[in-house]
Structure formats: structure tokens, C-alpha cells
Amino acid sequence: MELKNKNVFVTGSTRGIGLAVAHKFASLGANVVLNGRSEISEDLLAQFADYGVTVVGISGDISNGEDAKRMVAEAIENLGSVDVLVNNAGITNDKLMLKMSEEDFERVLKINLTGAFNMTQAVLKPMSKARQGAIINMSSVVGIMGNIGQANYAASKAGLIGFTKSVAREVAARGVRVNAIAPGFIESDMTDAIPEKMKDAMIAQVPMKRIGQAEEVAEVAAFLASQEYLTGQTIAIDGGMTMQ
Ligand SMILES: NC(=O)c1ccc[n+]([C@@H]2O[C@H](COP(=O)([O-])OP(=O)(O)OC[C@H]3O[C@@H](n4cnc5c(N)ncnc54)[C@H](OP(=O)(O)O)[C@@H]3O)[C@@H](O)[C@H]2O)c1
């Protein structure tokens, strides 16, 4: 798919990986929707001024089905279509299993997994009708390998991989492709919150011995959106962490 002049909705794009993904698509000539639960600031929109594309800020909560429908409708009203959806928004709420409450578990599932379901359902009909579209789900190496203290997060990210394959099979014949990205340890606010000592221990487990950059993940998102014979796959960008 040629990305120039396409319309791309990136959930959770006020910072981190989502913001880098939005910049990447805009640099390729695509119009982008920036999203987060918080207000989309004028300063954030101004970052995109030099790309010569349309950038729209639509705030809302992906874990709320009605909000997801409203946001997609607003995007279509503003841009005419959503050609690419990047289900990037996600949270962590780490606790050891013995200390994790049902609420701790469900809150993460509700945003990371149900949120992707809500947004995908909202875009799928118009994409199928247009016989064109790409959906990219931001999973994680934790969904492949598991991680201590992240039973909720791992379940949500593994769930996204199964979700990706199922929806990909359902809509492949209609020209809509669905893929996932499994980033490793990437520099962002999410990983900044991890204590320095633990970060060093995590980097030691990466064959390439360094943290990844959000821009590197964004390259994969643009690749997955553009490749017309690629669907149902999960691409790990992780410095070699999950190689077998
Ligand atoms: N960083 C890593 O090492 C890493 C590794 C593997 C996978 N990932 C995945 O990559 C994605 C982005 O991670 P990140 O590190 O860039 O995270 P981040 O810096 O914490 O950013 C998260 C983004 O999601 C938005 N968000 C959170 N909940 C939302 C909701 N309910 N509705 C709409 N927007 C919401 C946040 O905005 P508001 O706060 O305004 O809502 C923010 O824009 C996540 O899915 C994460 O699980 C990250």
C-alpha cells in the first residue's frame, strides 16, 4: 500500500512508541490522527507542521466501546477514511501474581486487549467496504516469553497475537491485513519507570546489549502497513531477545 495521502489512526500517540509511529507515517506523506486519553496539545500538533500533511487530535479512551466508535467516526468525518489503524495504546500495572487483584488484572486487559478489539471493530466495516486497509497491533515480547510480575500484561499481549491471527483470517479476502509487532525493551516513559538496576539486568538479557528506540519500532509499523502480501504475522523487534 502506498502510504502517501493515506489516513492513519495511531492510538496512544501522545508520547513514546505511538508518537514515533505517527511521525514516521507523517514523514511518508500520510495524514495522522493523534490520540490519548489526555487532551492533544497544540504543541504536540505543531511538531507535525513541516510534513505538509493533515494532523488531527482526537482524545478518548479506547477501552470504552462507545468512545472508540465516536473517535473513528470523528476521524472519518475529518479525513474521509481510516486506511491504517495502529492499536498502540497500552498500560502496565505490574505485580506478582500472588499480590495481583482481579481489578489489577482486568484493568490491563480492558485497555490493552479490549481496547484493540473496540477500535478494530469500529474500523473494520468501512475498511472491508473499501476493500483496503491495514491494522497493526502493538503486542510485546512479554506476550511471547512471559515475564515475572506481568501476568496481566503478558496475557493481554499474548491475547493480541491470537486476536491478530483470527481477524487476519476473517478479513484477508476483503483486502484488509492485520499484523502485530512485538517490541522488546524500548526507551519510553513506560520503561523509564523501571528502576535503573532492573533496567541493567534487562539489557544484559538482550543479545544486542542495548535498549531499542521508538523510531526503530515505527519503521516496522510503516513496513507492515505498506506490504500488500503480508498478513497474520507478528514481527519481533527486540535486539534478538526472542530468537529461537
Ligand atoms: N516501551 C517498551 O519497552 C514496550 C515494549 C513492548 C511493547 N510496548 C507496547 O507499546 C505500546 C506503547 O508503549 P510506550 O512505551 O510508548 O507507552 P507510553 O509511553 O506509556 O505511552 C502510552 C500511550 O498510550 C496512551 N493511552 C494509555 N491508555 C489509553 C487509553 N485507554 N486510551 C487511549 N490512549 C491510551 C497514553 O496517553 P494517555 O496517558 O493520555 O492516555 C500514551 O499516549 C504499548 O502498547 C506497550 O505495551 C512497549
Tell me the pLDDT tens digit for each residue of 57-95: 999 999 999 999 999 999 999 999 999 999 999 999 999
Q: How many CA atoms lie within 13 A of 218 on its CB side?
A: 21
Report d(CA 244, CA 242) in Å as an integer. Answer: 6
Average pLDDT over residues 203-212: 96
Q: What does pTM read for this prediction?
A: 0.98
Contact, 222 vs 24, CB < 8 A?
A: yes
Interval between CA 12 and ligand 1 midpoint (Å): 5
Interval between CA 138 and ligand 1 midpoint (Å): 9
Ligand 1 contacts CB of residue 159 (under 6 A): no
Interval between CA 173 and ligand 1 midpoint (Å): 31
pLDDT digits (tens, 9 = 90+) for 215-239: 999 999 999 999 999 999 999 999 9
Contact, 35 vs 232, CB < 8 A?
A: no
178: pLDDT confidence band, cut at 50, 70 and 90? very high
Ligand 1 contacts CB of residue 20 (under 6 A): no
Give the pLDDT of residue 211: 96
What residues form DSSP beta bridges with 136?
Answer: 86, 179
Give the pLDDT of residue 111: 99
Ligand 1 contacts CB of residue 61 (under 6 A): yes
Report d(CA 113, CA 135) in Å as an integer. Answer: 14
Task: Collapse the DSSP code of 212 into the 3-class scheme (helix H, G, I; strand E, B; otherwise coil) and give the result.
Answer: strand
